[in-house]
Structure 1
Amino acid sequence: MHSHLIFHNPAALPHDVVVGVLERALADRAHQPDAADALVGSALNDDDREFVEHWCVQVGMRAVSGSPLLGLAGLCLGHIARRFGQLSDESVALVRSLATRAEVDPSDVDGRALDGFDDVRSFLHLW
């Protein structure tokens, strides 16, 4: 039996919907799949960099250890760096921290944080 990964590029949602979905997922892990779509859709398609960056930081700081949202927050910060060519110092520090955690313990933060950190370094010309 083969499983096939399907690429899914979610659309950006209205900000109030994104906030509601992310807050629910941070309070109850059962809502994480919807939160993942909301975060990725925003990172790839929302033109309000400050809003998207703020919520990536919130998720990256507030999600519990082992949550797939941690690695995803790092990856999405990489998308923001690629799309907009800038990130706040707080975001750069967070994506670096998430990548370090992923290297130390992939059960804490998954490897997508490493991909996000690579994107940040590449697109912001750091280190």
Structure 2
Amino acid sequence: MRSGADPTAEQALVLKDWEDEFAFEVKRMGEETQRHEHRDVCHAYGHDGLCRFQFPHEIVPESYYDHKSNSIYLRCLDGEVNYFNPEILVMCRHNHDIKCILSGRAAQAAIYYITNYITKLDINTHNILSMV
């Protein structure tokens, strides 16, 4: 810091610069890694006409909890973008997808999917789930 400068004002400028840069990186990395592009795999396993990854997502102006369905609906302003965490996105610089898992069946499906994805098993997730 310069001699005689107000440290609080200078810190505020540094913070503002950091916030602006962070917002820029969220936008840049979001477009680069989080935007869904439909490919042949989207329509595999009998998903003719509909994307099996459920894109586009429904536009939801604000996140909310629906008591009737016991579901959490996440804010979604662009139906072609994965649900993501800005801090994870900028710090880890890779795609990810945030899901709310409230039921035992959804948790089982997530565990099988993650295990299959990490280990790249020869048996497909949809075959494993049909056995459950």
TM-score normalised by structure 2 residue count: 0.27
Task: Decide which structure has greater helix share.
Answer: 1
Bigger Rg, which one: 2
Higher RCO (C-alpha 8 Å, min separation 6): 1
TM-score normalised by structure 1 residue count: 0.28
Task: Decide which structure has greater strand share.
Answer: 2
